[in-house]
Structure 1
Amino acid sequence: MLSSESILQNFPILDRKINGHPLVYLDNAATTQKPLQVLYASRHYYEAINSNIHRGTHFLARLATEAFEQARQTVASHLNADSSDEVIFTSGTTDAINLVSSVLTLSGQIGKGDEILISTLEHHSNIVPWQMLCVRTGAELKVIPCDENGVLDQHAFHELLSNRTKVLALGWVSNAFGTVNPVREMTAAAKKAGALVLIDAAQAAPHLKMDVQSLGADFLAFSGHKVYAPTGIGVLWGRRKVLEDLPPWRGGGEMIKEVTFDKTTYNDLPFKYEAGTPNIEGAIALASALDFVNAIGLDEIYSHENELIEAAADALSDIEGVRLYGPDDRAGALSFAIEGVHHYDLGTLIDQMGVAVRTGHHCCQPLMSRFGITGTTRASFALYNTLESVAALAAAVAKASKMLR
């Protein structure tokens, strides 16, 4: 287990009390809390080097540009990217997926009779952009089913793959059930079929090492705020050859080399996809967050969180009427329901005891429909959670269940 005292001192917000109870923050799949290092990085940018980047020749502009591009290099190293030019800063995973679906539409590579393959486990952000692409192009959306444990049916996946499959868009880790998909194997199969592959790594980023070169996908997206960085910053990594062959998405400053009223010449990667002033502070703070995570070690973080999830699953299973969703080897999130108790009522009541969880469909309405439910209660874990957090969750749920049933 990670040293809770040394970790917790980095997160001042966790000293708060809710109705006299110590805050037990278990809504990390929605957003994580920010360590002091990240808060200092954001503050330092505005206090010491705030300026617009790339085109300025003055002192602050040079400092800000250097910090921003160093942040890009930090992300590239974290992902083991071939080049920092493959790292595009976005506002988050949703923005990154929309970028890819939009430029694929504009490219003319996808048309009627083609197929886009996603899974039952996907977040709405990895469903709706592809539905929109299908409306625009005449392509058809195909869905990989899952079994009763929330695990994708690999036989069905291979049956769905064909030479009509143009894109496989797949979440690495389910935000609702914590299912860890075999993304490397599925990517290899999709590439063999001739498809492009996008991996939604929003929920993988805080828990798992991401090596894009060994992964074999064409695109990978994640959000900073899931991995201890601020909101409003994210990353799209794309394979250089693929990105170079695709058209730009948004027009404006920075994504151009030369503009006349007759013609515009577009900029090289990564600037081709970064129109306008970016979230400079967010990128710098994201780099600080990744440094923080890597200093602790993702293997250590995963092992720590896995112990907590297993302990939580055992403790909740002892409560009458509880049903757990997802496989036993979950990552990050544990979803459950109590027979006869609405998830919203449960979440509201345990919040009064200081325990913060997420209730509802978790932006996964098709998955909830697959299981015949409207939603679950989800506890999701981070490196600052402890076995005491698990005990507080179980005690609050047990007490609330008795009150509500």
Structure 2
Amino acid sequence: MASIELGSPNFKANPYPIFANVRKNDPIKQVVLPGNRLGWLITRYEDAELALRDPRFIKDPRHLLSLEQLSKQFGRIVTEQEEGSQQAHQQPVFFERNMLGADPPDHTRLRSLVSLSFTPRFIERWRERIQTIAHELLDGVQGTGTMDLVNDFAFPLPMLIITEMLGVPRDDQARFRAWSNLFIESSGDPDAFRRNADQVRAFREYLRYLINEKRKLPAEDLISGLIAAESEGNKLSEGELISMVSLLLIAGHETTVNLISNGMLALLLHPEQKELLQQDPALIKSAIEEFLRFHGPLMTATQRWVSEDMELNGQQLKRGDYVVVVLASANHDEETFKHPDELDITRSDNRHLAFGKGIHYCLGAPLARLEGQIAISTLLQRLPHIQLAVAPEELIWRPGSLIMGLRALPVQF
């Protein structure tokens, strides 16, 4: 059985030739994943789009798998005590119990609780605050002539915004970043979650404490809003509330960190495209879409399982099979995109899958787009001569099969 190390930092440095070969010769490919699990890689655009929107590919495996099978998939089973009940029960790790890991009708109910806070109109209200933070961050480094674009700019900008939206104390950001890195970089590796069970538990307790504080003293923030919705009879359990907050915190900044840093890396490696964007700043919207396609923030989509036997592109998928939709491959499919391995910030009809498709389309896409537009435009305006401070081959990519992100991006200006 073949094995592709999707989470390997070395593989992430240039996965596209391998993906091109897989698309050509074995587009629905069964591989051995971390934890000795079998899974199907879906690599072509047409198949990936179908899997993302087809209800036969489900998100909640509890409808298909036994507790033993769930333990192998998720790394561990946590035993929880129902609030107000003496009966213990078992569930997969807590952060799977949110809208990202749910199917209708639970998904519909959970997503509706936060959807109004992520509309384009609501997100637009944050434009001035995003711009202010971008300038403040660059004020802190502009006199030095050098910075790590990830840690000095791309990470703190979306982190400050999502924590302000949710009402997370600013002093807690350092602890939260460590937890976020653990979850993201362990993605797709059950053994990694087993090794870090204590940290998983600590993050859960932190979120429980934060939610309890908001119950005592509500504010004009998203966590308080979720608590209020819970009290109005939407049947949001404590586990769901903790899981929802964890999802919003992690997903609310991880995608944008990688969008900003990967986008800037693409420009720095393609100076003609950087110059074109500097000459015509109005191209920033199409440029962001191209960054999302060319070297997007996610290597793969989040988990899916086959709910019934089916045939897909000549392969027989069975009920309960694990499926990995490889967004990075689908977004470079030559059958869908002309010259897919070329960066073209003027590309039209850019139907990339970076934010997914169907009912699980990324709720935070408007926020990520706005943050990306402001961040990269401000960088090019304030630091017009910005360039890499190291050779490209010295850059190190973060592990984990889910994300495509750099550990650091040293630049000089």
> Is TM-score (shorter-chain normalized) higher than 0.5?
no
Q: Which protein has the larger Cα radius of gyration, Structure 1 or Structure 2? A: 1
Richer in strand (by share): 1
Structure 1 length normalisation: TM-score?
0.30
Highest RCO, 1 vs 2 (Cα 8 Å, sep ≥ 6):
2
TM-score with structure 2 setting the length? 0.30
